Structure 1
């Protein structure tokens, strides 16, 4: 037993660029793109504005990926953005952002399992009364897949991500080949609320949904310590992954808007499935529902891996209990994995998709903003740090990304006051947690 424990605080360097691309695409493309087109169409009754929003956020993600690539290659450590924030702003800022990042990513398996349960019931309606049990079953299966070691999780990620992209391309091609639905197309009448001034709120609510759909593009940062050649693989994984996701999202939305008018999309909780029904006939909805279940498997697998790496990093820096750094012989921080499993299990029982999705997006934008600010601070504070990769067009691109992030935060604060209150409450109690775990110590893992 002692021999086993002597190696329990080290992750294995076994990952490469194939996994990097797989985890970016796999952890990003999932339930958001399947569910949000209908909600966005209900908020913004104009196809051109909808497409502009998806393209604009995609460009923002590309700038963000470039900034994160510099930070991650500079500090290739498990846990992601909180490492950079801690170095730039100090231990408390690192602590609170690390926990925000953990909550954001630990929430994700819960809402992906909820959506998997919803889709499963569509295929097998006789199990409608067991939807929560189906969701919990998916969570348990993918905890068990990742428990033995990082290689089993990595293999699952690469296979499911590749097949998911192929299947979405089938949907896109099918929609453009079939042509528009034979009903009146065009824009919806503009709701009175928009005329009276709520258009800004509607726009920011839409951007919040789109941002949540893009969430996952920074997934490479959580596995940097396990990469065989981070200086080479991480920038490629970020940029190629972000570009792939952006192009695919724009094409998916274009395909859905091509075959169905905005008014139909606005009434659809599962617009991708309805578009498949138009493109492939009556069997298309059932087929694409099954495809959606499979594609969600990929994103669930990624989010079973990610939050345990954040807890591992937090534990190593003494921001959490030391047991979170225990790693099994296969390279999985299994104690952290079990904590994440229990957290998601409870959320599935007590929460809904919409509540979880909005809160996670809000927290993500806070951590991302601090990460951009960290890049600016560290360029000034520690100019001689080795930087194997440097962000595009710095400082203009990074300042632009930071200002956009601040604007999005302000918009979300106006449009989603419930999530804002939760976050404010977490900030108020965070200092107690900081003192509890950190205590009087001043030195941390570098």
Structure 2
């Protein structure tokens, strides 16, 4: 289904207009929360790297947000080139650090196996809470695997390019994450890793001395800038897709000649800026993880429904595992959401409040009309 809009395209086809709008809104809110989380992180990294900088972390976060919004405003080509450049620099920097850790560190040998001693027993509730907070970081690390679906309308051959982008991108990320962890285990004892906020910086400091900590902060900044660029490219296309399909206010279907959905970009920037001003890192991380997993659940349910409801739809790529893989992801998503709602109540309520913001906008859409015809973004 090569149309701009992301998850909402599948949900609407499988479950109807109301579900399509709800999923699209959740997707957009999730992108804004994740984007705010990343620019807040950039603010923290920048102040750590340059303590004398006149702006505080929040101010830096807002400046970065506006800068990348302006890049997107220029047009699709500017966004594409900036993403390719940032991705290349990030991959090369990570590979250089991994190589240094693996080749230059003498390693710890048997120390790894016994580091930290046996873990003390924990109750079921404590284990669930620990698992939820650990998974929040894991989910936000791997989220983005589905980003190509937001640009499916712009592929020359969607049936080939979409699975190649999703699967190829995910394999590259898995390889890099595993190599980074292998490199860290070669340099640092597990006990030290467990207590480290910036393990890559600690590993580099062990190998190269104090100056290398600053090098790792630069690497973290490069990595985070790529995330900002991706998120601010994807999020406006969600609102554009909703608006063009008559599910949201028609103003958000407007597209500049350069291909940018301008009003959707402005709305994305404004909401993200508000989240930066009024929420901290942990809050944004928790809310983003909840919304991401809710989208995974919606996506898998939509796929299962479409397999049953429209078996004749063209399916040029058969994913390994088929409906069983989708069912496993759906069940895992449900388990995480239940556990998170019980153990992380504050962030769960905040996520629900952000979702509820769609209600007055839906009312306005019904009152003042649907989307104007738009061009593909």
User: Which TM-score applies when normalising by structure 2?
Assistant: 0.90
* Partner residue in 2 for 1:160: 86
Name the counterpart of 1:56: none
- For 1:96-245, what aligned pairs fall within 5 Å after superposition? 96-127=22-53, 130-177=56-103, 178-180=105-107, 186-188=114-116, 194=122, 198-245=126-173
Q: What is the aligned partner in structure 1 of residue 12 from structure 2?
A: 86
SS at match of 2:349: helix
**Which of the residues 337, 347, 366 maps onto 1:409?**
337
Larger deviation, residues 326-335 vs 341-350: 341-350
**Cα distance in 1 for residues equivalent to 2:251 and 2:135:** 39
Secondary structure of 2:56's match?
A: helix
Q: CA deviation at 1:204?
A: 2.8
C-alpha contact 2:12 2:18 (8 A) present in aligned 1 = yes
Matched, 1:338 2:286: no
Take 1:188 and 1:241, find their aligned partners in 2: how far apart are those partners?
35
Say if 2:14 and 2:302, in contact at 8 Å, map to a contact too: yes
Q: Structure 1's 425 and 352: CA in aligned 2 closer, same or farther, altered over 3 A?
A: closer
Query: Structure 2 matches for 1:15-414, cutoff 5 A?
Result: 75-127=1-53, 130-177=56-103, 178-180=105-107, 186-188=114-116, 194=122, 198-414=126-342
The 1:116–1:182 alpha-carbon spacing in structure 2 relative to 1, beyond 3 Å, is farther
After superposition, what is the alpha-carbon deviation per residue over 1:73-103, rounded to whole angstroms, capped at 9, x for unaligned?
xx11111011101111111111111111000
The Cα offsets for residues 226-282 of structure 1, whole Å up to 9 and x where unpaired, read as 112211111100111111111211221222233222332233222222222223332
CA shift, 1:183, in A, is: 12
279 and 245 in structure 1: CA distance in 2 versus 1, 3 angstrom threshold: same
TM-score (norm 1): 0.77
Cα distance change, pair 199–125 in 1 and its aligned pair in 2 (3 A): same
Task: Say whether the 8 Å CA contact 1:193–1:199 is kept in structure 2.
Answer: no
Q: Aligned in 2, Cα 1:201/1:324: closer, same or farther, shift over 3 Å?
A: same
Structure 2: stretches of 5+ with no match in the other structure: none
In structure 2, relative to structure 1, the CA distance for the partners of 1:193 and 1:327 (3 Å cut) is farther
> Which is further off, 128-137 or 150-159?
128-137
Write the distance in 2 (CA, Å) between the matches of 1:266 and 1:138. 31
Task: For structure 1, list consecutive stretches of 5 or more residues without a partner in the other structure.
Answer: 1-74
| CA shift in 2, pair 1:345/1:430, >3 Å | closer
Question: Cα offset for 1:112?
Answer: 1.3
Classify 1:197/1:179 alpha carbon distance in 2 versus 1 (closer, same or farther; 3 Å).
farther
CA 1:400–1:197 in 2, change beyond 3 Å: closer, same or farther?
closer
Alpha-carbon shift at residue 206 of structure 1 (Å): 1.1
